[in-house]
Amino acid sequence: MDQEFHRIKRLPPYVFAEVNAMKARARANGEDIIDFGMGNPDQPTPAHIVDKLVEAARNPRAHRYSMSRGIPGLRKALSAYYQRRFAVDIDPDSECIVTLGSKEGLANLANAITSPGDVVLVPNPSYPIHPYGFIIAGGSCRYVPVTPDAEFLRALDRAVRHSVPKPIALVLNYPSNPTALLADLDFYGQVVEFCRHHGIWILSDLAYSEIYFDVEPPPSILQIPGAKDIAVEFTSMSKTYNMPGWRIGFAAGNKKLIAALGRIKSYLDYGAFTPIQVAASAALNGPQDCVDEIRAMYKDRRDVLIEGLHAAGWQVPSPPATMFAWAPIPPAFAHLGSLEFSKLLMREAQVAVAPGIGFGEYGDSYVRIGLVENRHRTRQAVRNIKTFLGNYDKVLEESEKQRKSPGP
């Protein structure tokens, strides 16, 4: 009875748990922690979406079991969104399915298509469910660079030539969480051509499709001719409409993958509460001013954060998309690694961030900063960080002098 469960043994300790526990202790002691750690939208869901939820919930017929594939009206709304946004035709009956957020969809599709020992290609760093959905399902991951460029394509080729067995799938995520990198249609075209040639499925996570700044709207991989032969794409209502707790997302694309996901889900759930799906339909079909406002809010927060950090001496690149800044650890603290630097930042500046190691080994030189606090709180965090960086430069310098000085 003391033996560890097989699948649990395959999962490393959750890196964020240590930071979260430290945050909880600090708050219990009365400290005011400014929390940039989790990608959890802090603003309310737009009123017209909530009103539709309330209206639908008053119908007693809506209180029964729903459909694991999603109600027809919501699947049609997603199809209309793809046509409107990407000029891509999606059959609402065979090429899309409603998921309990994109995370659930990714994990269940991984479980549907993975046999023990299968190899899957995953960018590193990446959102944890991208590799661990497959690891939980019994597969193994081979990592490729996250940057959507020629090096990625070369690494992809090497991985296929030198992996035994041959990889069954490739995970993509642009705009990327945590790095905020973007991909263009030329890159997607080359990846689709390569994967079609080698018989590799593509799982594309497009959860941040509507959170972009100063750039063209991010494309969908399904815009590439022939992509639906091998690709499925996941989207989400969480960030676009401030609906994280509603747990509504979608998968769209290849019919065989959609059918496999539907088969798995039919055994595991009855779908989201019907009134939530009705409200999600209203969000997709209704006025999109709220999306523009949410995007503008994140852009404003990004500008306040990045300008403030630059003024404080921390050179963090300005993210072109997503609700995250991917921040290289300041050189003076680089030797600490992301977990210890995150703990130090919380202890000394009362600012919580996500350690990059939680997104893969190649993230350990970074921390992820979520744009989830308002302008006032963001400015306060920047002031705290500026004081921290100034003081700790001196502390580290003095510590180094003491280390090098001869003993008595």
**Nearest CA to 15 among 369, 372, 359?**
359
pTM above 0.85, yes or no: yes
CA end-to-end span of the chain: 55
Q: Structure tokens of 48?
A: 């017209």
**Nearest CA to 237 among 36, 77, 24, 349?**
77
The answer to whether 284 touches 290, Cβ cutoff 8 Å, is no
CA separation, residue 277 to residues 47, 71, 250 (Å): 16, 7, 11
Where helices occur in 58-202 by DSSP H, the ranges are 72-86, 101-113, 129-136, 150-162, 185-198
Q: What is the pLDDT of residue 405?
A: 60
Rounded Cα gap, residues 45 and 136, in angstroms:
33
Beta bridge partners of 169: 120, 201
Q: Structure tokens of 247?
A: 């747990």
Would you give per-residue pLDDT tens digits along the chain (408 residues)?
667 787 888 887 777 777 888 888 988 888 899 999 988 899 999 999 999 999 999 999 999 989 889 999 999 999 999 999 999 999 999 999 999 999 999 999 999 999 999 999 999 999 999 999 999 999 999 999 999 999 999 999 999 999 989 999 999 999 999 999 999 999 999 999 999 999 999 999 999 999 999 999 999 999 999 999 999 999 999 999 999 999 999 999 999 999 999 999 999 998 999 999 999 999 999 999 999 999 999 999 999 999 999 999 999 999 999 999 999 999 999 999 999 999 999 999 999 999 999 999 999 999 999 999 999 999 999 999 999 998 876 656 654 554 456 554
Rounded Cα gap, residues 45 and 284, in angstroms:
13
Q: What is the pLDDT of residue 23?
A: 87
Q: Count Cβ atoms below 10 Å from residue 29 Cβ, excluding itself.
A: 7
Strand 119-124 and strand 140-145: pairing? parallel
Beta bridge partners of 142: 121
Integer-rounded Cα Rg, in Å, for the chain is 22
Q: Which domains does the chain have, with CATH numbers?
A: 6-44+289-403 (3.90.1150.10), 47-287 (3.40.640.10)
Where helices occur in 312-374 by DSSP H, the ranges are 337-349
Q: What is the pLDDT of residue 396?
A: 61
Q: Count Cβ atoms below 10 Å from residue 145 Cβ, excluding itself.
A: 15
Q: Structure tokens of 107?
A: 């994990």
Query: Which single residue is written with the structure tokens 């998309």?
Result: 321
The answer to whether 321 touches 213, Cβ cutoff 8 Å, is yes
